[in-house]
Structures are given as structure tokens and as C-alpha cells.
Amino acid sequence: MADKPDIQEVLKERFVQLPKVVQNAITSEDNAKHLRELGEQHKLHIDQWEILENEVMMALFGVIPIENLESDIKKEVGVSDEIAKSLTENISKIVFEPIRQELERQLEHPEAKAADVSGVEAARTQILSGEANPLPPAAPAVEPATPPTAPPTEKAVRAPISEAYKAGEPSSARASVADDPYREPPA
């Protein structure tokens, strides 16, 4: 009886052969998080979600053809045609679309979209790449706003001190509260 190859060894060998973009997608926590959100959105049981994640990973590794993903999800996860179709469409947008766009950028495809990179991520990449003369970060666009008010030109005038006020005396002990701004006369 022939020994079956260890699936872990087969996947390790296949992982090394994959493009860096696909390797990053496989190891990314974002994909697992998005698949978990899809599972919650479609009310999948945790076992169904794990099977869904395994099916997506097998498609990323190239073990199962992407064309069969919808039918495999329907059969293996045990969901209806509509849910399988919805899951497949969402997985295509969340997992496979970014991989396709990055591969097109790397291959300098004429229809490749520019990468959406935040200023912080661009600075991080630049620092990690070790460029000698880093460019200053792009200044944020100035948005139109209401101009600030002019500073005051006159001095604030204080109200006269109450004749009923005596330093150190509590306001509750005062007999006359007529001109005390903080007390109302007793009713």
C-alpha cells in the first residue's frame, strides 16, 4: 500500500511556488477576518465557516479550481444556491479582486489600478526599504473653511463687586442677596 503524501508537506511545497501576492493573501489575517464577517452575515455555524475558509484557502493554493468554488461551497458548506452565489461573489471581491489588481500592477498591465496606500503606509514602506533621501510626506489638501474671528480689541469690563459681599463670609450667611448674581432671593 502506497503512502499518501502529507497534505501539510504538499501545501508547503505549493506555497513556495505561489507568487508573493498570493502568499501574502494566504497569510493575511484580514482575509480570515473578512471571511468570519461573511459567515456571521450569512448566519453560518462555526463548522460551516471553517469549511468555507478551507475551501477559499484550497482555491488560493490552486488545489481546487476557482470556477468550482461556488458549487464546492454549496456542497461542502451545505448552503442554498443563493447563499453559495452570494458568498462566492463576496469572496471574489474581498479575496481575489485585490490579488488580481496587485498582480496586474506588478505585471504593469495597461488597465492596472493604482494601489490605495495611506500616507502612513507609504512612509512605513519607504523607511523599511531603507531609502537614503526620504521625501517629506505630502501635505494634506487645504480645505476651505470659515476664516477665524478677529482677536478682541477692547478690554473686558468687570461688573462692580456686590456691596453685600464680604471676603471669607459664606453666601448663605449674607442677609441681603439682592445684588448677588449667584443667589436668588428667598421666596
Kindly report which listed range (23-37, 95-109, 111-125) carries the lowest average pLDDT score.
111-125
> Residue 138: what pLDDT?
64
Over residues 34-53, the mean pLDDT reads 83
> Residue 106: what pLDDT?
73
Task: Identify the band that residue 1 occupies on the pLDDT scale cut at 50, 70 and 90.
Answer: very low
Q: What is the pLDDT of residues 7-20, one digit of tens each?
A: 778 778 887 887 77
Three-state SS across 69-127?
Answer: HHHHHHHHHHCCHHHHHHHHHHHHHHHHHHHHHHHHHHCCCCCCCCCCCCHHHHHHHHH
Classify residue 104 by burial, with Cβ atoms within 10 Å: 0-12, 13-18, 19+.
middle
Closest CA to 165 of 154, 174, 156: 174
Q: Helix or strand or coil: residue 177?
A: coil
With beta carbons less than 8 A apart as the criterion, state whether 49 and 33 touch: no
- CA–CA distances in Å: residue 155 to residues 85, 148, 150, 158, 160: 72, 20, 14, 10, 15
Q: Helix or strand or coil: residue 24?
A: helix
> Residue 110: what pLDDT?
56
* Percentage of the chain lying above the pLDDT 70 cut: 74
Kindly report which listed range (39-43, 57-61, 101-105) carries the lowest average pLDDT score.
101-105
| Distance between CA atoms of residues 116 and 121, nearest Å | 10
Residue with cell 448674581: 181
> Residue 187: what pLDDT?
61
